[in-house]
């Protein structure tokens, strides 16, 4: 006797679509074949709950299932092709952050005589039996490889190409990697088909990025922070200051009477946004008072006068 679909997923008959989806996701992560290598019972559970989800996640199929009243009656009257019509398991697993099952889209597969919809047998006897055999005949692709990559600050800001030399599977390789503008430390760059070798082809190469620091800027997200040294008179009376930007020095306005350490925001002069190189964050300039060298006699006299009047 086939297990009730609702019982397989551990949900009530009145469960909402979201509750059904969450229940299947939890079970799929637990029983996925990749996480249970060689465990036939786990694979069988994965097949059964996937059949249940294929039906209960579709409003029309679920309505038919409820009308028949049991998994046995349903599978005896509905063909394998109908059960898995428009159901792509790989797409669903991808949404859950899991790897492909190897079974893909079942639309168009026909149940063999004796399978579900043809007088008996489980819907999975034909469907997964054939699919699993096919999967075993297809050579597996090689494992992905991961290596560190240090990216110069300039390349992270403007993008570019960077040659790299590496060794994988004892083989020396030289590649040219495209660096997208806006890349940040911790991101990964994927280079297809440059991972470990296997009969089914190479896996992918993942480069874990570390962006070098720049003495002029501190990066916080898409914003850049820098410091501008200004004279005491500019701080007190206002004026302008020259600051470093990604595109050279830029003069900004300084309001008089602001305290030392004040930050001035320069819009659109920060780091480029990853994936949107024409969009930039902002540049924040910290104003700090700076005096070059010893004071001249006139400067000292002026400062003494300021002190006398309370400044």
Mean pLDDT of the 269-286 span:
95
**CATH H superfamily, domain 5-137:** DnaJ domain (1.10.287.110)
Q: What pLDDT, on a 0 to 100 scale, did the predictor assign at position 272? A: 96
Q: What pLDDT, on a 0 to 100 scale, did the predictor assign at position 101? A: 47
pLDDT at 279 over 60: yes
pLDDT at 13 over 70: yes
Mean pLDDT of the 265-291 span:
94
DSSP bridge pairs for 288? 229
Confidence of residue 82 (pLDDT cuts 50, 70, 90): confident
Q: What pLDDT, on a 0 to 100 scale, did the predictor assign at position 94? A: 62
HSE value, Cβ hemisphere, 13 Å, CA-based, for 203:
14
Asked if 274 and 221 touch (Cβ cutoff 8 Å), the reply is: no
pLDDT at 267 over 90: yes
Q: What pLDDT, on a 0 to 100 scale, did the predictor assign at position 227? A: 95
| β pairing state of 218-220 and 223-230 | antiparallel
Confidence of residue 69 (pLDDT cuts 50, 70, 90): confident
Confidence of residue 242 (pLDDT cuts 50, 70, 90): very high
Mean pLDDT of the 122-150 span:
64
Q: Which contiguous run of DSSP H or E holds residue 285?
A: strand 283-289
Domain ranges of the chain: 5-137, 145-211, 218-308
Q: Which contiguous run of DSSP H or E holds residue 46?
A: helix 40-56
Mean pLDDT of the 262-268 span:
95
Phi, psi of 154, rounded to the nearest 5 degrees: -60, -45
Taking each helix axis from N to C end, the angle separating 59-68 and 40-56, rounded to the nearest 10 degrees, works out to 100
Q: What percent of the chain has pLDDT over 90?
A: 48
251 or 35, which is more confident?
251
**CATH H superfamily, domain 145-211:** Urease metallochaperone UreE, N-terminal domain (2.60.260.20)
pLDDT at 310 over 90: no
pLDDT at 281 over 90: yes
Q: What pLDDT, on a 0 to 100 scale, did the predictor assign at position 111? A: 39
pLDDT at 292 over 90: no
DSSP bridge pairs for 251? 242
Tell me if 5-137 shares its fold with 145-211: no
Range 218-308 classified under CATH 2.60.34.10? no
DSSP E strand stretches across 122-260: 145-151, 160-168, 171-179, 188-191, 205-211, 218-220, 223-230, 239-245, 248-254
Among 39-53, 129-143, 145-159, 174-188, the minimum mean pLDDT is found in 129-143
pLDDT at 110 over 80: no
Q: What pLDDT, on a 0 to 100 scale, did the predictor assign at position 133? A: 42
Asked if 87 and 58 touch (Cβ cutoff 8 Å), the reply is: yes
pLDDT at 100 over 60: no
Whole-number CA gyration radius for the chain: 32
Q: What is the dihedral of CA 72, 76, 79, 84, to 10 degrees?
A: 0
Mean pLDDT of the 136-159 span:
88
75 or 211, which is more confident?
211
DSSP-assigned letter for residue 144: P
Burial of 229 (0-12, 13-18, 19+ CB in 10 A): middle
């Amino acid at each position: 006797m086939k297990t009730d679909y609702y019982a397989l997923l551990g949900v009530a008959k009145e469960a909402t679509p979201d509750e059904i989806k969450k229940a299947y996701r939890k079970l799929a992560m637990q029983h996925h074949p990749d996480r249970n290598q060689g465990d036939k019972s786990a694979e069988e559970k994965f097949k059964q709950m996937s059949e249940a989800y294929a039906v209960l996640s579709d409003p029309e199929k679920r309505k038919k299932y409820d009308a028949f009243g049991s998994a046995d009656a349903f599978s005896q009257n509905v063909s394998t092709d109908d059960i898995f019509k428009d159901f792509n398991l790989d797409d669903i697993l991808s949404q859950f952050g899991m790897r492909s099952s190897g079974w893909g889209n079942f639309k168009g597969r026909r149940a063999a005589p004796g399978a579900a919809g043809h007088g008996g047998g489980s819907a999975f006897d034909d469907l997964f039996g054939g699919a699993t055999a096919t999967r075993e005949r297809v050579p597996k692709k090689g494992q992905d490889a991961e290596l560190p990559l240090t990216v110069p600050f300039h390349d992270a800001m403007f993008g570019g190409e960077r040659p790299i030399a590496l060794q994988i599977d004892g083989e020396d390789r030289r590649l040219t990697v495209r660096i997208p503008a806006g890349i940040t430390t911790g991101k990964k760059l994927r280079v297809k088909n440059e991972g470990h070798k296997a009969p089914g082809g190479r896996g992918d190469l993942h480069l874990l990025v570390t962006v070098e620091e720049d003495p002029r800027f501190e990066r916080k997200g898409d914003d850049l922070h820098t410091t501008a040294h200004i004279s005491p008179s500019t701080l007190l009376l206002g004026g302008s200051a020259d600051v470093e930007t990604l595109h050279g020095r830029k003069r900004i306005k300084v309001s008089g009477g602001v305290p030392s350490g004040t930050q001035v925001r320069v819009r659109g002069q920060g780091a480029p946004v990853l994936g949107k190189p024409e969009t930039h964050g902002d540049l924040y300039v910290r104003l700090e008072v700076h005096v070059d060298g010893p004071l001249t006699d006139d400067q000292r006299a002026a400062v003494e006068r300021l002190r006398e009047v309370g400044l």
